[in-house]
Structure 1
Amino acid sequence: MKLLITGGAGFIGCNSADYFLGKGHDVSVLDNLSRAGTDKNLEWLQKRHPSVKFIKADVRTDQAVLDEEVSKADAVLHLAAQVAVTTSVTNPREDFDINALGTFNVLEAIRKSDNKPSLIYSSTNKVYGKMEELEVLEGEKRYKYKDIEGVDEKQNLDFHSPYGCSKGAADQYVLDYARIYDLKTVVLRQSCIYGTRQFGIEDQGWVAWFIIATSLGTPLKIYGNGKQVRDVLYIDDLVRCFEMVFDKIDKTLGNAYNIGGGPNNSLSLLELISQIESLHGREIEHSFHDWRPGDQPVFICDINKARNDFGWEPKVSPEEGVKKLFNWVQENKELFQ
């Protein structure tokens, strides 16, 4: 398979490239290297796989480059994105240009191509908004849904924040291009992916950020009461999901799937802090601040559609995954200085 990965030097992108290159596929990585850590991820990837092709380009502006690279691909993994809600609030135009316009440009490159490669688009649970109609119960260390275990794909879309709008618009374009132009496009609405080579920051990538910050002695700021719950998914499980979606593209095309840890793999912020404290062997300094706009008290995926359509489910528990990420950060502290 000839695979093009946009945003291929990012956290998910470099892990995906590493996996598919290891399987013997021909992989091209397209990235503008604007995000912190992407240069380090690219260097790591090139050392492991000298055959990887790198294209420095921007999905917002380099349409001719996109057209050329897409015309040579059998499949496209579209990961290039602005990824933080807070950044989208500060700079909504840039957020729109990267997430909505950038995805539209990728779709147009596919539509105009002769080969019509398959496409996986990396969407987000934020397309569902705050889901205020779902009753939530508050426990000692976590919130939980009152009447359901997880949110399925029938949940109404309700974009909150510029980020939710830009990702949601792209999400719907990807689905509609399958209907209108008969393209092999798939949407994965991802929930809290974490793992090695993730340069998490306070605004995004909270599992990695908590581990990085505590390893560097940086006090944690908790926005809200810390009882917010997410289903978390280790990177290896997500990359395996990508492979299975491509392998079953005749079944998966035109569909949106909620992809996360599911009800059996969830963590609250407070629970993660407790787990990291056990790994460090000490208490972690943290303080509480106002809730962030659009923050859901709880989001847990119902992953049954993915399980039924292409046989995927997570294998790495939060305990195992957090420990793997913790050990990687301890062994690579120089990357975060």
Structure 2
Amino acid sequence: MSIVLVTGSAGLIGSESVRFFCEKGFTVVGIDNNLRQSFFGEGASTLWNRDRLQEKYGDQYIHHNSDIRDRTAMEQLFQTYNREIRLIIHTAAQPSHDWAARDPFTDFTVNANGTLTLLEQTRQHCPEAVFIFCSTNKVYGDNPNQLPLVELERRWEIAEDHPFYEGIDESMSIDHCKHSLFGASKVAADVLVQEYGRYFDMKTACFRGGCLTGPSHSGAELHGFLSYLMKCTVTGTPYKVYGYKGKQVRDNIHSYDLVNAFYHFYQNPRVAETYNIGGGRESNCSMLEAIAQCEEIAEKPLNWEYQESNRSGDHIWWIGNLGRFKSHYPQWELTYGVPEILKEIYSQNLDRW
């Protein structure tokens, strides 16, 4: 039996991974204890997604309501499946830099200590398995804000002759900048994943995502940009835009496209890789542009207000350069842009909202 182990398996990327690999005939073992509800409230619960996966895939999906910080529980789980594990996709995290400042110990133990526990269990029980970590562009801290940006009518941009016009690549430093406590805990995890690759010659990769999105996202005010924005537009919930005149830019990648990138890496893995991954130049938008698209799709205005103060350490402009990953895996390509993503979020969540 070939097993894919997915942490955060009821979340956005975790559940997409479950579906993707079940459809390819793998048995998937999922770990998810719905901490997202503890972080962001009842509206962010992932239980609906867990139940849907169990109903659809039956015995092919084995769910564990465990905490990745629990070393004893993780050791028992890895001992149970041992060398049948072919791939670990680690998506479990505390994902908000605002929330991290409220409880730094929980943030760090989930993001850093939890990752260390999983890496060490992989080394002890299935060292030949591929280990994929959902990292974040926040490992670069606010260094992107030092770029020479140009203010346009509805977005910030960078000059076409700038080396990063096609997106920020992995050469950007992660040092000498403000990360937020969330960013710091993810840096710790990111470096651990790289080090287990280099030091123990394990097949590891850090995928440093921009905005990860899709219809399975349990979007909340502190995390889940496009999902929560569309939910607020549909339901009339007030929405707040923080700083940068609402012109801050993010690239957005659909969960399917990201998991498909994981699959390409799994088929031909490398050691201690880092990849900036996201929508790149093909799929990005500013806050103002996203609001306009949500209003057009939902055919109603968003009830939103602007606050001058931005979130500490937040990016003004982020578009990731996908060149490194595409050079290693030229058969992979994006299949969704922002309009398609928003239409899918809208159509697949109306009944749930």
Give the TM-score normalised by structure 1.
Answer: 0.95
- Secondary structure, in 3 states, of the residue corresponding to 1:314? coil
Alignment of 1:1-337 (within 5 A): 1-36=2-37, 37-51=45-59, 52-61=61-70, 62-68=73-79, 71=82, 72-131=84-143, 132-146=145-159, 147=162, 148-149=164-165, 150-158=167-175, 160-224=179-243, 225-249=245-269, 252-289=270-307, 290-311=309-330, 312-333=332-353
Change (3 A) 1:166 1:69: farther
Q: Which runs of 5+ in 1 are unaligned?
A: none
Counterpart CA distance in 1 for 2:217 and 2:68 is: 22
Counterpart CA distance in 1 for 2:35 and 2:314 is: 26
Displacement, 1:66? 4.5
Contact 2:295 2:301 in 1 (8 A): yes
- Secondary structure, in 3 states, of the residue corresponding to 2:314? coil
Displacement, 1:64? 2.2
Counterpart CA distance in 2 for 1:123 and 1:68 is: 26
Contact 1:8 1:17 in 2 (8 A): yes
C-alpha distance after superposition, 1:97-146 (max 9, x if no partner): 00000000001101112553110000000001112432111111111123
Counterpart CA distance in 2 for 1:114 and 1:170 is: 19
Shifted more, 258-267 versus 113-122: the winner is: 113-122
Change (3 A) 1:43 1:180: same
Change (3 A) 1:128 1:70: farther
Counterpart CA distance in 2 for 1:114 and 1:327 is: 41
The letter of the residue matching 2:281 is: P
Contact 1:303 1:313 in 2 (8 A): no
The letter of the residue matching 1:179 is: R
C-alpha distance after superposition, 1:213-234 (max 9, x if no partner): 1211101111112111001111
C-alpha distance after superposition, 1:155-214 (max 9, x if no partner): 101361110000011001101111101111111001101111111111111110001112
- Secondary structure, in 3 states, of the residue corresponding to 1:80? coil
Change (3 A) 1:253 1:115: closer
Displacement, 1:257? 0.4
Change (3 A) 1:156 1:115: closer
Contact 1:122 1:189 in 2 (8 A): yes
The letter of the residue matching 2:89 is: L
Counterpart CA distance in 1 for 2:201 and 2:125 is: 13
Contact 2:233 2:300 in 1 (8 A): no
Displacement, 1:70? 6.1
Contact 2:247 2:286 in 1 (8 A): yes
C-alpha distance after superposition, 1:70-98 (max 9, x if no partner): 62411100111101111111111100000
- Structure 1's consecutive aligned runs of 4 or more residues displaced over 6 angstroms after TM superposition are none
Displacement, 1:65? 3.1
- Secondary structure, in 3 states, of the residue corresponding to 2:333? coil
Contact 2:246 2:287 in 1 (8 A): yes
Displacement, 1:7? 1.0
Change (3 A) 1:8 1:114: closer
- Secondary structure, in 3 states, of the residue corresponding to 2:193? helix
Contact 1:57 1:65 in 2 (8 A): no
Shifted more, 175-184 versus 139-148: the winner is: 139-148
The letter of the residue matching 1:151 is: I
Contact 1:107 1:177 in 2 (8 A): yes
- Secondary structure, in 3 states, of the residue corresponding to 1:263? helix
Give the TM-score normalised by structure 2.
Answer: 0.91
- Secondary structure, in 3 states, of the residue corresponding to 1:74? strand
Shifted more, 126-135 versus 3-12: the winner is: 126-135
Contact 2:198 2:271 in 1 (8 A): no
Displacement, 1:313? 2.6
Displacement, 1:67? 3.4
